[in-house]
Amino acid sequence: MSRSALIFQGGWQGHQPAQCAAIVALLLREAGFEVDISDTLDVLLDADRLNALSLIVPMWTQGTLTRPQEQNLLNAIASGVGVGGWHGGMGDAFRNSTDYQYMVGGQWVAHPGNIIDYTVNITNHDDPITAGLSDFRMHSEQYYLHVDPSNEVLATTTFGGAYDWWVEGVVMPVVWKRRWDKGRVFYCSLGHVAADFDVPEAREIVRRGLLWAAR
């Protein structure tokens, strides 16, 4: 029996949610998943549907969750449904929903310099999400996040002082995993636009992370 995944995409269009959702849907289908893509948050009102999934992929920058939508989503994850996502589609979603941010393990707050060149450092070479990958370069937004110290960090980036001098030398998580009760949670801060997935390491980390999260 194939596993099922739901991607809900929308919100701020600068992150190209539809294009990114299509890329990730293909990766999941290649791994044998049945994938549905929703362009409305109303899909989160169907608790039975959510609870039957293997994986939920949020791709909804900013936006607002109603309390029933938030509770159904978090309850499904707590019951064992995996969740995974990237960049602002998961890490800058639903700014008023602190319980959602608690589940994710972080929240975007800045990207000094906007689109810049920076390095991603693999810090865990044994985890299946990052095993065999080397440090790599990105030309994109370097996310500064407020992060949960309970995250299991797999990759980081170090900030320079060219834009905001006071954060020079700060080592910031880029990829992490964590738990939300019985559910597995994966997050990667890469993926500002669809072209970011042209970087092989970024694409592979997201692919592996979603497969790890799925039950």
51 by Cβ neighbours in 10 Å (0-12 / 13-18 / 19+) ranks as middle
Across 53-62, average pLDDT: 98
**Segments forming the whole domain that contains residue 11:** 4-213
pLDDT for residue 165: 98
**Across 59-63, average pLDDT:** 98
* DSSP single-letter state for residue 96: T
Take residue 15 and report the two structure tokens written for it: 């992150």
The structural domain count of the chain equals 1
DSSP 57-83: EEEEEB----HHHHHHHHHHHHHT-EE
CB-count burial class (<10 Å; 0-12, 13-18, 19+) for 163 = middle
Residue 152 pairs in a beta bridge with 177
Phi, psi of 75 (to 5 degrees): -65, -40
Residue 1 pLDDT: 65
Contact 81, 51 (CB under 8 A): yes
CA dihedral 151, 163, 111, 125 (to 10 degrees): -40
Return the CATH number at 48. 3.40.50.880
| Distance (Å, whole) CA 47 – CA 56 | 12
| pLDDT 10s digits, 178-207 | 999 999 999 999 999 999 999 999 999 999
Angle at 70 between CA 203 and CA 212, to 5 degrees: 30
Contact between 84 and 59 (Cβ < 8 Å): no
Amino acid occupying residue 183: G
Per-residue pLDDT, averaged over 66-71, amounts to 98
User: Six-digit token pair at 70?
Assistant: 């938030």
Q: What is the pLDDT of residue 2?
A: 81
In 3-state terms, what secondary structure has residue 152? strand
Mean of pLDDT over the chain: 98
pLDDT score of 178:
98
